[in-house]
Amino acid sequence: MAITTQDIHRAADEIAEAGGTPTLAAVRKALGGGSFTTISEAMQDWKSSRTAPAPIREPAPESITARLGEIAGGIWATALEMANTRLQAEREALERVRQETEQARREAADLADQVSAELDQARADLLAQSGALDRAKAEAGRLASELAEAQRRADTAQAALDESRRQCDQWADVLKTQVNAEPGQGDIKPKAKKPKPKPQLDIEDAA
């Protein structure tokens, strides 16, 4: 639901009646949100309605009227005219200051809205980056587990390969002994007990 000027004025009145100062931030907090630009413009109208000076309407003192009569009345009228002229000049100067202040506040409100939007975007980006980081950590953990498993399989395969090489070396020694046996002595059995052949481990099965 859009915030109206009446809502802003009502919130400012409530803050002022409670003894507080109806600043832009205080009014925005009381409304529960809203654009700084909208609140700033409405607050200018609210302040103008409460602080507009009334022209001087003080009647001439009775002592002057009694003593001077029409002359005193003319003098007093002239004084009032001069006062009103001066008041009008001060009003014009005040209006110029008000316009300059309003322009500065409008620019500040626009900047505040822009900063607020950028902050919201930065928070959204941070949440997205945090989610991406969590997913990257999970993926890194998974890859580390897979790497550890692959290393374990590689160690098992290497152990199986080493065992196969050891068995091959044993068989090579036996064959070498039989080949180098002297002629005429018949089959000479090696001193070392002939090892029983063992089934070779398949590297892929060991992994």
Q: What are the tens digits of pLDDT across the range 33-68?
A: 888 888 888 888 888 877 655 556 666 566 656 666
Give the pTM: 0.33
Boundaries of domain holding 14: 1-52
Structural domain includes residue 14:
yes
Structural domain includes residue 24:
yes
CA distance linking residue 3 with residue 6, whole number of Å:
8
pLDDT digits (tens, 9 = 90+) for 104-155: 888 888 888 888 888 889 988 888 888 888 888 888 888 988 989 999 999 9
Residues 6+ apart with CB under 8 A from 55: 84, 87
For residue 80, the SS3 value is helix
Q: Identify residue 196 by its one-letter amino acid code.
A: K
C-alpha separations of 102 from 12, 53, 109 in Å: 17, 19, 10
Tell me which residue has tokens 């003192």.
Answer: 61
Structural domain includes residue 107:
no
Structural domain includes residue 109:
no
**Domain termination site, one of 13, 36, 52:** 52
Position 183 scores a pLDDT of: 53
Position 68 scores a pLDDT of: 62
Per-residue confidence band for 1, with pLDDT thresholds at 50, 70 and 90: low
What is the number of structural domains in the chain? 2
